[in-house]
Structure formats: C-alpha cells, structure tokens
Amino acid sequence: SYELTQPPSVSVSPGQTASITCSGDKLGDKYACWYQQKPGQSPMLVIYQDNKRPSGIPERFSGSNSGNTATLTISGTQAMDEADYYCQAWDSSTVVFGGGTKLTVL
Amino acid sequence: QVQLVQSGAEVKKPGASVKVSCKASGYTFTGYYVHWVRQAPGQGLEWMGWIIPNSGGTNYAQKFQGWVTMTRDTSISTAYMELSRLRSDDTAVYYCAREDLAVRGARHYYYGMDVWGQGTTVTVSS
C-alpha cells in the first residue's frame, strides 16, 4: 500500500521560515494536500492541489510538490502556527495520510 | 453556513457496534464525497473510507473492509459510519469530512477535505 513519510517534528523561531516535507513514491505525479490540527480541534485544510490555498488561509502558507517530495512552507512563522501538520494524497481510489509533523515555534 | 455536525460521544463494550452520524448543512449534500477519518489518542489521522452521497458508492481502506459500513440518507443530508466488533484499540475520535472532486478527461482533480465535523469520541471499554 502507498505510504507518505513526514518528519515527526520540526522547530522554527518566530518570524523564520518553516519547511515540512512529505515523501512518497512518485508523489509529484499526485496532488498533495496539507492539514493543520491544533490540540482539541478538527483538522483544517491549508493547502490543496499542491499549492492552492483555501479562502481564509494566510499567504504565508505555501506548498510545492515534485519528484518524490511535497513541501509545506510557512514564511514568517507565528506562534499561532504551532500545531500538527499532516500531508495527504490520493492513490488510485484510496486516501493516504502522512504520519504527521509537530511544528514547534520557539 | 457550511457545516458538518456529528452525533455525540459513545461508550461501547468490546464486541459491540457503533454508528456515528454526520449531518450536512449549508451546501448540496450530494455534490461532495464524504470521508471518515479516525484519530486514536495521541496518534495521527487514519483514513477509513469514503461514500459518494449521490450514488451511495463506497470505498473502504483495506484495514476496515468487512468491518465498517458507510451509508447515507439523502432526504436528511446525513452520512453514517458503522463500525462493528469493536475492540479497545478502536477508541478514537471519529471525523467526517467533505471533499469535492472533478473529472476532466482522464484526470481527477481533488480539492481536499475542506469542511470537517467536530469529531465523535468513541470509547471502547469493558
């Protein structure tokens, strides 16, 4: 079955750029999505179709996807961005989530 | 506004079944896929399957085949997820989420799970 791999944790200083990767076989041939989840809350879509932002998502969130790796980039990271982030893709008719990355802003 | 409202928390004994509902409002229920995703305590997101409300077509993750049933009632814009033969490791928060898909030629366009329910906590304990 298809697998997506994320680093368990990423740390960033406020105002700096955070990058979270998601790896999977030929992931660049699929669309990648990213979700943000804060403690006790439902996940929230922040990027779809590799690099599109839903309405209401700040411009500091961006995405890319090529080869075997999709990347979520948060520019000018703020304390409010501290959360768990999950990548997701479709493989044939099924959906796969990455294991999640805890972003710490310190 | 567009929302998915799920049924309340459940406590079940091992071997029992649970049925969680997900009521859609603010949009055309039959126009979007509905996914079910669960999250065990302290763990990541696990996709369980989807249902197409228009046709009732389903696709389940291999892990859940023969064990989960997803249905819908279009007259009340509600999707259901029933999990049988519960075990203690089925203790989790269960979410429903909608997704728009489009097919143009040979290409599928996925728009991400843009609306999520509030989650339903299912606790399995003897």
* 10-residue averages of pLDDT along chain B (126 residues): 97 98 97 97 98 95 96 98 97 98 86 98 97
Task: Kindly state the percentage of chain A with pLDDT values over 90.
Answer: 98
Q: Can you tell me the distance from the alpha carbon of A105 to that of B22, in angstroms, rounded to the nearest whole number?
A: 34
At B105 the pLDDT is: 86
Whether residue A100 is predicted with pLDDT greater than 90 in this model: the reply is: yes
CB nearest to B45's CB, from A86, A90, A93: A86
Identify the bridge partners of residue B37 per DSSP, sorted by sequence position.
B47, B95
At B36 the pLDDT is: 98
Mean pLDDT within A78-90: 98
Residue A2: which pLDDT band, with cuts at 50, 70 and 90?
very high
Tens-digit pLDDT profile for residues A48-77: 999 999 999 999 999 999 999 999 999 999
Structure tokens belonging to residue B2: 């567009």
Pairing of strands A9-12, B78-83: unpaired
Contacting residues for A39 by C-beta, under 8 A, at least 6 apart = none
* Interface residue of B3, B38, B48, B113 to substitute, partner A, most A CBs within 10 Å: B113
CB spacing of B112 vs A47 below 8 angstroms: yes
Q: Can you tell me the distance from the alpha carbon of A69 to that of A48, in angstroms, rounded to the nearest whole number?
A: 15
Structure tokens belonging to residue B5: 């409202």
Tell me how many residue pairs between chain A and chain B have CB atoms under 8 A apart. Answer: 63
Residue A98: which pLDDT band, with cuts at 50, 70 and 90?
very high
Contacting residues for B107 by C-beta, under 8 A, at least 6 apart = none
Nearest to B93 by CA among B62, B119, B63: B119
SS3 A63: strand
At A21 the pLDDT is: 98
At A29 the pLDDT is: 95
Distance from CA of A10 to the nearest CA of B (A): 16
